[in-house]
Amino acid sequence: MQWLGLFRACARTARALSVLFLMAVLAGATSASASPCSASDTSPHTCSQGACQGVAYCEGTRLGECTPTGVSIFSCNVCGRTGYRTCTDFTMDALSCTAFQSELCNACDDDGDGLVDEGLTGAPCTMPNGCSGVRACTASGPTCVLAPDSRKACDTCGTGGSAVCRMDGSFGPCQPSTATRELPCNDCDDDRDGVGDGNASTPETCNGLDDDCDRYIDEGSLGQEGGACGLSASACCAATCTSLGKNCGSVSDGCGGTLNCGSCQGGQVCGGGGVANVCATCSYVPKETACAGKNCGTVSDGCAGFHTCGSGTCTSPQSCGGGGAANVCGCTPNSQTLACAGKNCGTVPNGCGGFHICGTGTCTSPQSCGGGGTANVCGCNPIPQATACAGKNCGTVPNGCGGTYTCGSACASPKSCGGGGTPNVCGCTPDPVYEACGDRECGSVPNGCGGVASCGTCGTGSTCKFGICQTNGGGFSSKEGDK
């Protein structure tokens, strides 16, 4: 019944993987316009937005607009073929893959429609031994497998007699269409128990039966009854599977040896009817039913065998049953509290191909995520004081992280910090002459910066007294230049 094992779980796997891919596309768009160009550069430059790639060309000394190419950064695999996810504009189609193709007979979903080998299986065919079969697909290609309950006509049990077709190409004993009382030596399994009887061409063996149907039991080559078991009366006459009524498994021959009575065919199970080493029909569960809703691991077929669901394994980081459902690929993410312990910004992996956002994800300026040297922690790395205070000798300057540095010390009077017009540099701006001199018309006065301002000179015959030109006789005189 393994031919029924084709099932449709691949579509579910594709949908689960699409969630992982969409969670992974958290990176921001890569701008093409900031890339450097030379004036003669005509070559294409790779750019991207999110998971989708594009191409941009130089426009002067800067890159122009990023044009989508339809290609994403994510690869994909379909039935052993590697491809990549595609994009429409800059939106990735998480269910796409360039490795999809028309369905092949290979036990795999080649076209990504959730169906395996659709339209390529189930057609009737004939086995090499003449038994009925059905078309099936395997990893190595199409084949003809034995159909359930396949039988072939035989002529030793009358009209309607048939024999069970076995997987190894052999046949069971000829059986009538309806079970009757077993008759000896008619080459027919009258009671349909799977154990036939002999005929004239069957060689006699030491088994307590008349194998060759000549009315003698265990006779040897000399015709002496019991001769097949040796000349000694004490010799052990080993039993056979037929004499024991067994047709499957291993049993003792009664003489210290072991008999291999074969295996069951046609969906029967050894001991399935409650009798050890006798084939009987059991409640076989087809793979499609047993693996419904499952895509990994093995499940019972109801008859001492197993079905492999999906490919049997999962793609990392998923594991079979990892999401809590048996025989289903999944992954249980680690908790956000644990993943973000000691962190307050940015994203961290959740252990299942996705991410957790720590804190609000961002920091308040001037801090940045990891800016202080610790990943996923808001911080800021101050510029050195020597750099911030270079060329300065007074006052305070910002340190780039919301703090300040003090450059030098207080300025000596009459200088003040920035007084000369340069911030954070001690200096002084002299008073204008008209302000420093006021009503004075001669002499000199302090200029407010430790120097003096000249208020003019007096003419010949006069002297500057208290800032006013006076004649030598005591009267006022014009200062030099007013004459």
Residue spans per domain, the chain: 1-146, 266-332, 433-471
Q: Let me know: does 332 contact 322? Beta carbons within 8 Å.
A: yes
pLDDT in tens, 463-479: 888 888 888 765 555 55
Most confident of 144-148, 285-289, 380-384: 380-384
For the residues 364-388, what does the mean pLDDT come to?
Answer: 91
Going by pLDDT thresholds of 50, 70 and 90, the confidence category of residue 4 is very low
Amino acid sitting at position 124: P
Give me the mean pLDDT over the 57-62 stretch: 86
Q: Identity (one letter) of the amino acid at 353? A: G
pLDDT of residue 228: 64
State the Cα–Cα distance between residues 73 and 62, nearest whole angstrom. 24
Cβ partners under 8 Å of residue 466, min gap 6: none
How many angstroms separate the CA atoms of 448 and 124, rounded? 115
Kindly state the helix (H) or strand (E) to which residue 387 belongs, with its residue range: helix 385-388
Burial of 294 (0-12, 13-18, 19+ CB in 10 A): buried
> Of the ranges 51-65, 186-200, 454-468, which one carries the lowest mean pLDDT score?
186-200
Residues 6+ apart with CB under 8 A from 171: 129, 152, 154, 163, 164, 165
CA–CA dist 47, 31 (Å, integer): 7
Q: Which residue has the higher pLDDT, 135 or 28?
A: 135
Position 280 pLDDT exceeds 60: yes
Q: Please give the single-letter amino acid code of residue 273.
A: G
